[in-house]
């Protein structure tokens, strides 16, 4: 039977009471078991509207791997494929832009294998010794090492694209764009087929650092300047007063207005100089701050959001410093774990996720330094991977026994017995008392799709004020998709009494 109305039993609340608030910003949404004590192999990552995840186990001296595509809304495994007989001590990399896997012995000696996502073997690059970086697609591998860059075709044919000392490949930030080759004497923008789009000579005495590859191009620190090189081959000098940089810039903020350098810090509470550069004026600010200690930039968080620098260290500490070098706040994990090897990640430009690598704790802080979430894995289960999925406003954590999805508190898993409605269905919400018209807005009554995007649906209140209508979007909903209708506590009666609870009502679209 089609459900055509949602009845809210009461607007009334006990006098003086407020709606209960959840202690955590995020909650566990679903959990997928990892079978046979397999270890996480591929860091969870979105590919289209599916989550890709892989595990492996060692069997008789070789690795067998499972690659799964998972529905991020329900945790249902849509597809599972096996890759069997890979060499012992391998590194497996997932290339989401090209939808392939590559595997190579961890000591970088031996063959590099390319696999399709269905588990089938595509081709092998024999004797792929000393590969530092590889740009892998389903048709070829661009590899560096031995002071040259080579293109290896699917049929095994090899051609040299560039020969120069210290030649290394940097993959583009988006698919089908030219790669950047950084070598002793040149910076070269090149397509994988060898077509050179742009090239410039650089001083071989000065090392170049590739700072970032984004959707538009590359940031490069070279010869006392910071360049932006677009995928069209246009170079812009965005900073020309960076002669004193020793390690390259640590981060460029999202607005691309600031860059900063954080020296490597090995000792706890070490007083360090922090250099901040205004990319529009070239102005440099230098100040001393007590930075959280870190022994590896791979696990430290060094980033700018708006006008604040956030830095984390392996000891579980996070510090926030403004552009004048004044500390805004500092927190340290209270975990008593013996591991004390933490990794910080910026999530959705709103939170910092701090977790113990091979430990048990995940903590989340907002950008004011307030802890809004904590998770402790049970028993002896170690945390291997914590991956933010910014596009879904969710994150996943892989432990020894399962993959877990965490979502904003109140998110529901779609039910197989969801009410079904036609694509042009208009929802009627009957209230037990007349609502304040000013509170019935698209901020307080709205519909979201499976990707947590708001749907463009008009919301209106009838003349008597006791019925809200949420109209279907122009063109209707997408067939077979699941949506959720939200009515928040922002809806109030005429005397200002809010709804007792937020209401979330999932539904599915039928023909």
Q: Residue 79: pLDDT above 60? A: yes
d(CA 376, CA 380): 11
Quick one: tokens of 357? 């690598």
Regarding beta strands 420-422 and 503-510, do their DSSP bridges make them parallel or antiparallel, or are they unpaired? parallel
Least confident of 102-106, 170-174, 211-215, 478-482: 102-106
Quick one: tokens of 320? 């926030």
d(CA 510, CA 406): 28
Least confident of 122-136, 192-206, 372-386, 435-449: 122-136
Looking at residue 148, what is its pLDDT? 85
Assess contact for 315 and 301: CB atoms under 8 A. no
Task: State pLDDT tens for residues 16-40.
Answer: 222 223 345 888 888 888 776 677 7
Helix (H, G, I), strand (E, B) or coil at 421: strand
Helix (H, G, I), strand (E, B) or coil at 504: strand
The per-residue pLDDT of the chain, averaged, comes to 77
Task: State pLDDT tens for residues 277-287.
Answer: 777 776 777 77
Report the 10 Å Cβ neighbour count for 205: 7
Residue 162 CB partners (closer than 8 Å, separation 6+): 148, 149, 181, 183, 186, 188, 190
Looking at residue 89, what is its pLDDT? 55
Which position has the higher pLDDT, 357 or 241? 357
Domains of the chain: 1-22+410-511 (2.60.40.1220)
Looking at residue 181, what is its pLDDT? 92
- What is the mean pLDDT of the segment spanning 302-306? 79
Please list the residues that pair with 329 across neighbouring strands. 320
- Residue 350 CB-density burial (10 A; 0-12 exposed, 13-18 middle, 19+ buried): middle
Q: Residue 123: pLDDT above 50? A: yes
Q: Residue 88: pLDDT above 80? A: no
Give the model's confidence band at 3: pLDDT under 50 very low, under 70 low, under 90 confident, else very high: very low
Q: Residue 95: pLDDT above 90? A: no
Assess contact for 462 and 469: CB atoms under 8 A. yes
d(CA 170, CA 158): 19
Looking at residue 369, what is its pLDDT? 93
Residue 399 CB partners (closer than 8 Å, separation 6+): 34, 377, 381, 382, 383, 384
Task: State pLDDT tens for residues 175-213.
Answer: 788 999 999 899 999 998 889 999 999 877 667 777 778
Q: Residue 390: pLDDT above 90? A: no
Q: Residue 351: pLDDT above 80? A: yes
d(CA 361, CA 318): 15
d(CA 225, CA 220): 8
- What is the mean pLDDT of the segment spanning 159-181? 88
Q: Closest by alpha carbon to 392, among 99, 75, 54?
A: 75
Which position has the higher pLDDT, 323 or 423? 423
Looking at residue 49, what is its pLDDT? 82
Residue 59 CB partners (closer than 8 Å, separation 6+): none
- What is the mean pLDDT of the segment spanning 351-368? 86
- What is the mean pLDDT of the segment spanning 256-273? 53
Residue 437: phi and psi, rounded to 5, are -60, -35
Looking at residue 63, what is its pLDDT? 72
Looking at residue 21, what is its pLDDT? 35
Looking at residue 91, what is its pLDDT? 67
Q: Closest by alpha carbon to 459, among 481, 435, 479?
A: 435
- What is the mean pLDDT of the segment spanning 147-170? 86
Q: Residue 10: pLDDT above 50? A: no
Helix-strand-coil percent breakdown of the chain, rounded to 5? 0, 50, 50
d(CA 300, CA 315): 10
Give the model's confidence band at 266: pLDDT under 50 very low, under 70 low, under 90 confident, else very high: very low
Residues 59/61/67/72 CA torsion (nearest 10 deg): 70
Q: How far apart are the first and last CA of the chain?
A: 14
Give the model's confidence band at 5: pLDDT under 50 very low, under 70 low, under 90 confident, else very high: very low
Q: Residue 363: pLDDT above 80? A: yes
Q: Residue 230: pLDDT above 90? A: yes
Give the model's confidence band at 357: pLDDT under 50 very low, under 70 low, under 90 confident, else very high: confident
Give the model's confidence band at 234: pLDDT under 50 very low, under 70 low, under 90 confident, else very high: very high
Please list the residues that pair with 92 across neighbouring strands. 103
Q: Residue 291: pLDDT above 90? A: no
Q: Residue 321: pLDDT above 50? A: yes
Residue % of the chain over a pLDDT of 70: 77
d(CA 372, CA 253): 24
- What is the mean pLDDT of the segment spanning 224-247? 76
Please list the residues that pair with 454 across neighbouring strands. 448
Q: Residue 232: pLDDT above 90? A: yes
- What is the mean pLDDT of the segment spanning 93-99? 70
Q: Residue 13: pLDDT above 50? A: no
459-470 burial, b for 16+ CB within 10 Å, e for fewer?
bebeeebbbbbb
Looking at residue 186, what is its pLDDT? 92
- What is the mean pLDDT of the segment spanning 286-294? 69
Quick one: tokens of 99? 């939808």
Q: Residue 239: pLDDT above 60? A: yes
Give the model's confidence band at 273: pLDDT under 50 very low, under 70 low, under 90 confident, else very high: low
CA atoms 285, 291, 296, 300: torsion sign: negative
Q: Closest by alpha carbon to 102, among 112, 117, 90, 88?
A: 112
Report the 10 Å Cβ neighbour count for 11: 20
Tell if the pTM clears 0.75, that is, is over it.
no
């Amino acid at each position: 039977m089609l459900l055509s109305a949602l009845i809210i039993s009461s607007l009334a609340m006990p006098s003086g009471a407020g709606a209960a608030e959840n202690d955590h910003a995020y909650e566990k949404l679903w959990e997928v078991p990892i079978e046979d004590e397999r270890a996480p192999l591929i860091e969870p990552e979105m590919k289209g509207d599916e989550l890709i995840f892989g595990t492996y186990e060692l069997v008789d001296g070789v690795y067998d791997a499972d690659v799964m595509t998972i529905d991020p809304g329900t945790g249902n495994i849509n597809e599972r494929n096996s890759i069997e007989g890979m060499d012992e001590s391998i590194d497996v990399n997932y290339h989401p832009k090209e939808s392939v896997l590559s595997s190579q012995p961890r000591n970088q000696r031996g063959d590099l294998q390319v696999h399709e996502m269905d588990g089938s073997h595509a081709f092998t690059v024999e004797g792929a010794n000393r590969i530092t970086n590889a740009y892998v697609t389903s048709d070829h591998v661009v590899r560096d090492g031995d002071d040259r860059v080579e293109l290896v075709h699917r049929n095994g044919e090899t051609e040299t694209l560039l020969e120069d000392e210290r030649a290394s490949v940097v993959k583009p930030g988006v698919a089908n764009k030219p790669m950047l080759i950084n070598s002793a004497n040149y910076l070269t923008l090149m397509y994988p087929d060898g077509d050179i789009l742009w090239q410039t000579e650089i001083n071989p005495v000065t090392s170049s650092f590739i700072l970032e590859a984004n959707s538009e191009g590359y940031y490069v620190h070279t010869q006392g300047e910071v360049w932006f090189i677009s995928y069209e081959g246009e170079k812009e000098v965005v900073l020309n007063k960076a002669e004193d940089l020793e390690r390259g810039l640590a981060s460029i903020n999202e607005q691309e207005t600031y860059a900063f350098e954080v020296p490597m810090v090995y000792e706890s509470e070490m007083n360090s100089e922090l250099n901040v550069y205004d990319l529009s004026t070239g102005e440099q600010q230098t100040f001393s701050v007590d930075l959280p200690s870190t022994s590896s930039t791979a696990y430290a968080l060094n980033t700018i959001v708006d006008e604040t620098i956030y830095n984390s260290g392996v000891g579980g500490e996070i510090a926030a410093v403004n552009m004048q070098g004044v500390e805004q706040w500092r927190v340290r994990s209270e975990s008593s774990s013996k591991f004390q090897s933490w990794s910080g990640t910026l999530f959705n430009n709103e939170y910092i996720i701090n977790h113990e690598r091979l430990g048990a704790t995940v903590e989340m802080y907002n950008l004011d330094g307030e802890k809004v979430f904590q998770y402790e894995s049970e028993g002896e289960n170690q945390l291997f991977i914590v991956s933010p999925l910014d596009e879904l406003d969710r994150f996943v954590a892989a432990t020894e026994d399962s993959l877990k999805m965490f979502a904003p508190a109140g998110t529901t898993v779609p039910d197989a017995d969801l009410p079904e409605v036609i694509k042009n269905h208009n929802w009627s919400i009957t209230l037990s008392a007349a609502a304040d018209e000013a509170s019935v807005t698209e901020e307080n009554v709205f519909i979201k799709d499976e990707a947590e995007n708001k749907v463009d649906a008009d919301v209106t209140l009838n003349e008597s004020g006791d019925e809200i209508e949420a109209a279907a979007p122009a063109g209707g909903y997408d067939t077979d998709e699941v949506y959720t209708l939200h009515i928040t506590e922002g809806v109030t009666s005429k005397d200002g009494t809010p709804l007792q609870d937020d209401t979330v009502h999932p539904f599915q679209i039928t023909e």
